[in-house]
C-alpha cells in the first residue's frame, strides 16, 4: 500500500530530524559581527522591570553590533519554562534565575562556566561568601546580582506597650528574640508570626548561625542532622509551644503572614528582607514599624547566600558578547538601580557601599545591610538530589515537626533516612 510507505517515510523523516537536532556537541561556533543576544528576565515587580529595561536600553544605545533582546518570563513557573526550553534546545543566551534554581541545570551541563568569560574586575568586586555560593564544582555558574536575608520586622507600638526594651546594636540573639516574643504576647496578639509554609530554605539558611551546615562537601554528600542543625527548628517549635509564635502562621506563606502583621495581630514577623519594599508601601499609615538587628546564633549572624543570578547558556553562539553585557550589568550603578527597585541587597562590595550611602537614614535599611555581613556560600547547593529531598522529605518533615506531630529526634532520623532513600 502506497499510504503505508508514505507514513513510514514521513515518520522516518521526523525521527531523523529530531535525532539530528540532538547531536552531541561542545561549545558551538561563536558568532562575530553584529549579533542579537536573548536575555530572559523574570523580575515581576514593576519597578524592577523598569530598571531592567533601562539598563538594556542604555546598553543597546552604545553597542550597535550586539543588541540585547529582553524576554519577560513568568516568575512562578520559571522552572517549568526553563526545563522545556533547555530540553527543546531553545533556551535564551542569558538566563536570569536564582542559584538554587539554576544549580540543577548547571549540574546537568546546560550552563557555561563564567570564570574565564567575565572580567577580573567584576569577579574581584563580588563578596567572597557570595562568590562561593555561585561556584559549583569549581565552576562559576552565574553572576550574582541581588540577594535577601531573613530579618525580623517589628511593630514598635506593640513592643513598647508590652514594656519591652527594643534591641539595638549589630545583632539580636535568638534568646532575646524568644523573650521579646513571649513578653509581647497577649490573648489578642501573638509575639511573632512567621510564614513557614516552605520552611526548608529558611531553616537551612539560619542554621548556619549555629554552624548547622546539614550537608558535608565532596562528591557523595552526606547529611547529618545533629544538635547544631536542630537549633533553629527546636527554637521555633519552643516558641510555638510557649504560645508566642502564631501556630497558624507557620502553615501559611510569608505574604499571608504580613496581613496578620499589618492587622496588629502579631508584634513581630520574620520575613525575607525584600519585603521591606512591600512593608513600606502596604503597612497601615499609623503603624510605626522597624527592622530589628539580625538574628545571632552561637556562630554569629551567618546566613546562606542564595543570590539571583545571570547565567549563560552553554549552547549560546554569542557567549563572549553575553558576558560583556553581564559585566556591564554588574557595574555598581546598575546593581544599585536593580536592588533599590527590588528592595534587595547588592552582591558586590562597591554596590553595597553605594546603596548604604543612598539609603542612609531610610527606615530599616541599616539593619538589613548589617544582616548581609555574615552571608556564606551554603553547602546544600552542591548536593545532588537536594531538590527532591527538599520537596518530598524536608518540607513535609519540618511541617510535621512544627505541627507537633513528631518530635525532634524523629525529625532528625526522618531527614537522614529520607536523604539516604533519595540517593539510593
Partner 1 sequence: MTALRPQRAHNPPPKPRAGGLARARRNEAAALVIPALIPVVLLSVIPLLIGIGMAFTDSTLARNHETSFVGLQNFINLGSDSLFWQSFGIGIIWSVSVTVLQFLGGLSLALLLNSDLKFKGLTRLLALMPWAMPPVVVAIMWQMIYSPTNGPLNWLIGTLGGPERINWLGDFSLALPAVILVGVWVGMPQNTITLLAGLQQVPAELSEAAAVDGAGAWSRFKHVTFPAIKPVIISITSLSFIWNFNSFGIVYVMTEGGPGGRTMLPMLFTYLEAFKSRHTGSAAAMGDVIVLFLIVILVAYLWRQLRGERIPK
- The footprint of partner 1 (CB under 8 A) covers 1, 3, 7, 11, 22, 24-25, 79-80, 83, 86-87, 104, 107-110, 197, 247-248, 250-252, 256, 259-260, 263, 265, 314-315, 385, 387-388, 391-393, 395-397, 399-400, 403, 405, 418, 421, 424
CB of 322 within 8 A of CB of 312?
Answer: yes
The nearer residue to partner 1, 128 or 396, going by C-beta atoms, is: 396
For cell 539609603, the residue is 359
The nearer residue to partner 1, 179 or 256, going by C-beta atoms, is: 256
Residues found in the chain: 424
The nearer residue to partner 1, 50 or 259, going by C-beta atoms, is: 259
Rounded distance between C-alpha atoms, residue 115 and residue 135, angstroms: 9
Set of cell numbers at residue 290: 522597624
Q: Could you tell me the smallest distance in angstroms from the CB atom of residue 127 to partner 1?
A: 29
Q: Could you tell me the smallest distance in angstroms from the CB atom of residue 246 to partner 1?
A: 9
Q: Could you tell me the smallest distance in angstroms from the CB atom of residue 38 to partner 1?
A: 18
Q: Which residues of 26-63 are buried (b: 16+ CB within 10 A; e: fewer)?
A: eeeeebeeebebbbbbbbebeebbebbeebbeebbeeb
Rounded distance between C-alpha atoms, residue 362 and residue 356, angstroms: 10
The nearer residue to partner 1, 241 or 391, going by C-beta atoms, is: 391
CB of 113 within 8 A of CB of 140?
Answer: yes
Strand 150-155 versus strand 172-173 pairing type: unpaired
Q: Could you tell me the smallest distance in angstroms from the CB atom of residue 406 to partner 1?
A: 9
Rounded distance between C-alpha atoms, residue 62 and residue 128, angstroms: 31
CB of 187 within 8 A of CB of 197?
Answer: no
Set of cell numbers at residue 242: 510557649
The nearer residue to partner 1, 186 or 421, going by C-beta atoms, is: 421
Q: Could you tell me the smallest distance in angstroms from the CB atom of residue 138 to partner 1?
A: 18
Q: Could you tell me the smallest distance in angstroms from the CB atom of residue 283 to partner 1?
A: 16
Q: Could you tell me the smallest distance in angstroms from the CB atom of residue 314 to partner 1?
A: 7
The nearer residue to partner 1, 223 or 393, going by C-beta atoms, is: 393
The nearer residue to partner 1, 226 or 396, going by C-beta atoms, is: 396
Q: Could you tell me the smallest distance in angstroms from the CB atom of residue 115 to partner 1?
A: 19
Set of cell numbers at residue 220: 557523595
Query: Comparing C-alpha atoms, which of 157, 170, 147 is closest to residue 306?
Result: 147
Ordered DSSP codes for 10-56: HHHHHHHHHHHHT---SSPPPP-SSEEEEEEE---SHHHHHHHHHHH
The nearer residue to partner 1, 197 or 320, going by C-beta atoms, is: 197
Query: Comparing C-alpha atoms, which of 240, 287, 237 is closest to residue 264?
Result: 287
CB of 96 within 8 A of CB of 43?
Answer: yes
The nearer residue to partner 1, 83 or 176, going by C-beta atoms, is: 83
Q: Could you tell me the smallest distance in angstroms from the CB atom of residue 250 to partner 1?
A: 8
Amino acid at each position: 500500500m502506497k499510504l503505508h510507505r508514505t507514513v513510514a517515510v514521513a515518520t522516518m523523516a521526523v525521527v531523523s530530524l529530531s535525532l539530528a537536532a540532538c547531536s552531541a556537541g561542545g561549545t558551538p561556533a561563536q558568532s562575530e559581527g553584529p549579533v542579537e543576544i536573548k536575555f530572559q528576565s523574570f523580575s515581576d515587580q514593576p519597578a524592577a522591570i523598569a530598571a531592567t529595561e533601562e539598563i538594556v536600553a542604555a546598553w543597546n544605545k552604545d553597542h550597535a553590533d550586539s543588541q540585547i533582546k529582553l524576554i519577560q518570563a513568568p516568575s512562578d513557573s520559571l522552572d517549568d519554562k526553563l526545563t522545556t526550553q533547555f530540553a527543546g534546545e531553545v533556551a535564551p543566551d542569558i538566563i536570569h534565575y536564582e542559584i538554587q534554581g539554576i544549580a540543577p541545570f548547571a549540574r546537568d551541563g546546560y550552563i557555561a562556566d563564567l570564570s574565564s568569560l567575565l572580567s577580573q574586575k567584576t569577579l574581584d568586586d563580588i563578596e567572597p561568601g557570595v562568590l562561593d555560593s555561585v561556584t559549583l564544582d569549581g565552576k562559576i555558574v552565574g553572576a550574582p546580582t541581588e540577594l535577601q536575608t531573613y530579618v525580623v520586622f517589628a511593630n514598635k507600638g506593640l513592643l513598647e506597650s508590652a514594656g519591652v526594651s527594643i534591641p539595638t546594636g549589630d545583632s539580636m540573639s535568638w534568646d532575646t528574640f524568644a523573650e521579646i516574643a513571649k513578653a509581647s504576647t497577649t490573648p489578642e496578639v501573638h509575639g511573632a508570626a512567621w510564614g513557614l509554609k516552605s520552611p526548608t530554605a529558611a531553616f537551612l539558611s539560619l542554621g548556619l548561625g549555629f554552624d548547622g551546615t546539614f550537608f558535608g562537601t565532596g562528591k557523595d554528600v552526606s547529611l547529618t542532622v545533629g544538635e547544631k542543625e536542630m537549633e533553629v527548628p527546636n527554637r521555633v517549635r519552643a516558641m510555638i509551644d510557649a504560645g508566642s509564635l502564631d501556630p497558624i502562621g507557620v502553615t501559611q506563606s510569608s505574604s499571608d503572614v504580613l496581613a496578620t502583621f499589618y492587622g496588629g495581630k502579631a508584634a513581630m514577623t520574620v520575613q525575607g528582607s525584600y519585603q521591606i519594599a512591600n512593608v513600606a508601601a502596604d503597612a497601615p499609615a499609623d503603624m510605626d514599624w522597624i527592622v530589628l538587628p539580625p538574628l545571632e546564633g552561637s556562630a554569629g549572624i551567618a546566613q546562606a547566600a542564595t543570590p539571583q543570578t545571570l547565567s549563560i547558556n552553554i549552547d549560546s553562539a554569542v557567549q563572549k558578547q553575553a558576558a560583556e553585557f553581564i559585566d556591564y550589568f554588574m557595574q555598581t550603578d546598575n546593581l544599585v538601580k536593580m536592588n533599590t527597585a527590588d528592595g534587595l541587597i547588592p552582591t558586590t562590595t562597591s554596590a553595597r557601599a553605594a546603596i548604604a550611602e543612598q539609603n542612609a537614614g531610610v527606615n530599616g535599611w541599616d539593619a538589613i545591610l548589617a544582616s548581609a555581613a555574615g552571608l556564606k556560600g551554603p553547602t546544600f547547593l552542591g548536593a545532588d538530589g537536594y531538590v527532591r529531598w527538599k520537596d518530598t522529605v524536608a518540607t513535609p518533615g519540618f511541617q510535621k515537626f512544627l505541627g507537633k506531630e513528631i518530635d525532634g529526634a524523629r525529625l532528625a532520623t526522618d531527614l537522614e533516612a529520607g536523604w539516604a532513600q533519595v540517593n539510593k
